[in-house]
Amino acid sequence: MIFGFGDEIDDDYKSIEKLNDNSYLEHIKSINYLETDNYKKLLEYINSGNFQIFIFGHSCGISDRTLLNTIFEHENCASIKLFYHQKAEHIDNYSDIVRNISRNFNDKAKMRDRVVNKNYCEQLK
């Protein structure tokens, strides 16, 4: 597991790089991904053919934006199916997760096409 900041798309990241101080980049996920071959294996997998993403208990927040954008907008990504928490009879976190997912897309048309409609998603039990 890699902990740290992972939103290279954000303008603040560009400001951090311009500081020209490597200590500020110590906890940047993309740099720490290079410590293992897991990221390379992920890229090999998503390049190998069509895939569907299942989201279980992940907020899909912007701390993983660079990685999630790479996966979500990849040409081989067929769909993104959510498994959401039912908090009360008419209250769940499906829409919260979708809003977070939307921040990981640059191409909002792809987002609308790929995120599975709530009717076909499932609640976690």
Q: How many domains does the chain have?
A: 1
Q: Is residue 1 part of a domain?
A: no
Q: Kindly state whether residue 66 falls inside one of the protein's structural domains.
A: yes
Question: What domain range is 103 assigned to?
Answer: 11-123
Q: Does 22 fall in a domain?
A: yes
Give pTM, 2 decimals: 0.86
Mean pLDDT, the chain, rounded, equals 92
**Is 106 among the domain residues?**
yes
C-alpha distances in Å from residue 106, one per residue of 9, 10, 22, 103? 10, 12, 28, 8
Dihedral over Cα of 68, 7, 40, 4: its sign: negative
- pLDDT at res. 31: 86
Q: 104: buried, middle or exposed (CB in 10 Å: 19+, 13-18, 0-12)?
A: buried
Q: In this structure, is residue 4 part of a structural domain?
A: no
Per-residue model confidence as pLDDT tens digits over 19-46: 999 998 888 888 888 889 999 999 999 9
Reply yes or no on whether the pLDDT at 1 is more than 70: no
